[in-house]
Amino acid sequence: MKIGNKGSVTIIVLAVLALATLGAGAYMVTKDHGVSEVPPVTELVSTSEESVGDMSEMSSEDEMAVSDNENMSADAIADSAQEEGAGSSMSPTTEVTAVGTTPAATASVAVDSGQRETVVLAGGCFWCTEAFFQEEPGVVDAVNGYAGGTADTADYKTVSRGKTGHREAVQVTFDPVRISFKEILDVYWGHIDPTDDGGQFADRGSQYRTAIFYSNDTERQIAEDSKQRLGTSGLFDKPIVTEILPFTTFFKAEEYHQDYYKKAADHYQRYKRASGRAGFVEETWAKDAALYFLSEEGMDVTDSLETSSTDTTVWTPQTYTAEEIVVLQKALDASAYHIVAENGTEPAFKNAYWDNHEAGIYVDVVTGDPLFSSTNKYDSGTGWPSFYQTITGAPVSELPDTTYGLVRTEVRSGGGHLGHIFNDGPTEHGGKRYCINSGALRFVSQTEMTREGYQDYLYLFTE
């Protein structure tokens, strides 16, 4: 059939539109990660080297919704975390000319190579491990989850009890052209205590033990070499006990755990210091042995360590929305959550602080607000922590409580339910007894108060 000039133009236009449509949503199959989306070339253009790493931001930083844990394979999670530009065959220094621009407007930059590798690393609390990697150049994404267990499913409440065999872990997706597997491990070592076989810092239990999960013999050999190099560096006096294990399963953690260091930045920073991790990293990696260890790979120490410039030296009260409090509560273990969020009560004489006699302060387990002092604590014989008053200015409220057919006065803080007030306390101190659940509190000893930023409350022990 003969086609005129107008028909030829129409066909060409339709062909161009079809190609443009395919370019915007074309898919390619990769060996390691299955199907990945290939964006148009114009989406890969960057005007500065610093902006390259920001291309993986796929959702709002303010996303606070809580979703059910998804039972996903490691490859499926890697696919869902693919950075824009996956599958591009361009080299890191390819000059890209955007459609509709002149060559003079084109920038020559180091762009994403499009290559992807993943590794699962257990480093204790996954909030911290994720934060360290999310900010690392060359890392596309870091997803919090549970790895290495034998159970066929995993969620925070079950894993936190240490019953499933899983460990809190992070699946790191990275561009191997921009950061190598060896360098990923150097970042990893720089934020854990690899000599601790009982957990990490304040988080104890098998679910917090460190491990590198390898997917092939090459990764296993690199991991073993890296571990041996760390052991002979002189950085640690004790043996390196971090395990190197074959990868089996990875379950993505609940949504409120993802990007927690952004969603609840203040609480995260306080937790990182209070757990002992921040101080350990700062002290350990300031040693000459750390410089020696990293220099063997030609790395600058500051390239693989998180700076502490955002850490505050004095604790200050924070204001949280109701939604943020819900997120913080859900990060607690099951017992503490039951107390603060569901008005629960823990067993008498079987809780953390009923017989604690150490000098220090008791802070809100959710918000960190100082609530009670050991100087106002006494043994009531009831089996729960008892105080005859709060710290002056503590954000504590009293509400009527008629549950169970009783007339009582509930004590609440910004983080939730604390306990009840009774009128059988020491008469010389006013007669009140604040009967508080240990699970609603976190104890900060007098010797740790300055390190954790509570030095303004040391006056309680000098009056």
Check 125, 140, 170, 339 and give the catalytic one: 125
Buried b (16+ CB within 10 A) or exposed e, 329-351: bebbeebbbbbbbebeebeeeeb
Is 128 designated active site? no
**End-to-end CA, the chain:** 102
Instruction: Tell me the C-alpha distance between 446 and 455, whole Å.
Output: 9
H-helix or E-strand containing 17?
A: helix 5-25
Q: What is the dihedral of CA 336, 337, 343, 349, to 10 degrees?
A: -20
Three-class DSSP category at 239: coil
Half-sphere exposure of 299 (CA within 13 A, CB side): 21
Return the amino acid letter for 3. Answer: I
Instruction: Tell me the C-alpha distance between 177 and 193, whole Å.
Output: 28
Instruction: Tell me the C-alpha distance between 169 and 194, whole Å.
Output: 15
Question: Is the separation of the CB atoms in 253 and 144 below 8 Å?
Answer: yes
212 pairs with which residues across the strands?
121, 244
Question: Is the separation of the CB atoms in 126 and 254 below 8 Å?
Answer: no
Instruction: Tell me the C-alpha distance between 57 and 139, whole Å.
Output: 12
Instruction: Tell me the C-alpha distance between 412 and 409, whole Å.
Output: 10
Three-class DSSP category at 443: strand
Instruction: Tell me the C-alpha distance between 1 and 126, whole Å.
Output: 66
Return the amino acid letter for 366. Answer: V
Instruction: Tell me the C-alpha distance between 326 and 64, whole Å.
Output: 10
445 pairs with which residues across the strands?
360
The dihedral sign for the CA sequence 44, 263, 252, 209:
positive
Residues 6+ apart with CB under 8 A from 250: 72, 73, 74, 77, 120, 145, 146, 147, 169, 171
Strands 243-246 and 211-214: parallel
Q: Which two tokens stand for residue 390?
A: 């709060």
Check 170, 240, 366, 435 and give the catalytic one: 435
> Known catalytic residues?
125, 435
